């Protein structure tokens, strides 16, 4: 276990759990932002990591940026702060392995932007999700740009312009989260998703994650071309041959480097 600047990092086999630990609301400030970015940059270099989970300690995932930090900025400082925050969240977004956000409570502002950068989101029933920045005089920016891709432009506009938070059940209905569970079921639900991910070919999952990121930045024609290249690249790994053999022999595949 590694504990640094409000971030607890624990390895469990091929999975890394990263826990935001700045009670009571795990608000983000420069130290925690830096620790988050550095941690994911380091994990990205470790090919034995097959998935990561981001969650919070206590009653919140994170309530967003520390308002005292926000209030202390001038124009130049604000640009440095938001650039550093984007770099950290982008490290999560571009991780070469799947990242699951386990939303154990409130997920607001920059916290929602962090969750949007993850590939899957599991929320507890009491979680509330929102982007309240306009209520403290700033727009929602950086990875908030991912929101319309998930919920559509109309619903995204409602969240962005009203600053209101929505309940987990509504977030599920809108497609903002993948699962809503009772608090005591959160870890089980996350581990169930992890099990499904780890059952796939390790290299195929990495190729799929790379492709998912590329699609977000590409037009349709380019996205299809990326997919063709990724499909061909999979055959350099040996996983398609083993997958086909396993299917024909009616057994689970034995992928190299799988747990």
Residues taking part in catalysis: 133
In what order do the strands lie in the sheet containing 166-167?
A: 60-62, 106-108, 128-130, 166-167
| DSSP strand pairing (2-4 vs 7-12) | antiparallel
Task: Bin 137: left if φ > 0, else alpha if -120 < ψ < 50, else beta.
Answer: left
Cα–Cα distances (Å) from 177 to 11, 14, 44, 145, 250, in that order, read 25, 24, 24, 16, 34
Confirm if 52 and 97 have CB atoms less than 8 A apart. yes
246 CB burial (10 A radius; 0-12, 13-18, 19+): middle
Give the DSSP H or E segment for 27.
none
Q: What is the largest CA-CA distance in the chain?
A: 65
């Amino acid at each position: 276990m590694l504990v640094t600047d409000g971030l607890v990092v624990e390895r469990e086999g091929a999975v890394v759990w990263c826990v935001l630990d700045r009670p009571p609301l795990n608000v983000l400030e420069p130290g925690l932002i830096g620790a988050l970015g550095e941690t994911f940059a380091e994990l990205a270099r470790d090919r034995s990591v097959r998935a990561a989970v981001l969650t919070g300690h206590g009653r919140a995932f994170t309530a967003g940026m520390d308002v005292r930090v926000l209030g202390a900025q001038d124009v130049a400082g604000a640009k440095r702060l938001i650039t550093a925050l984007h770099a950290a969240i982008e490290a999560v977004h571009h991780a070469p392995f799947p990242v699951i956000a386990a939303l154990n409570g409130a997920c607001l502002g920059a916290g929602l932007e962090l969750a949007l950068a993850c590939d899957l989101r599991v929320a507890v029933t009491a979680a509330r999700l929102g982007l309240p920045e306009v209520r403290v005089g700033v727009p929602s920016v950086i990875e908030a740009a991912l929101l319309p891709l998930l919920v559509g432009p109309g619903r995204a506009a409602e969240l962005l312009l009203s600053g209101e938070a929505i309940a987990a059940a509504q977030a599920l209905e809108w497609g903002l989260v993948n699962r809503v569970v009772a608090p005591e079921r959160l870890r089980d639900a996350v581990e169930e998703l992890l099990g499904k991910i780890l059952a796939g070919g390790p290299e195929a999952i990495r190729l799929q994650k790379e492709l998912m990121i590329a699609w977000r930045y590409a037009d349709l024609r380019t996205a299809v071309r990326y997919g063709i290249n990724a499909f061909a690249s999979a055959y350099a790994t040996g996983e398609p041959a083993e997958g086909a053999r396993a299917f024909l022999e009616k057994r689970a595949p034995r992928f190299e480097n799988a747990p």
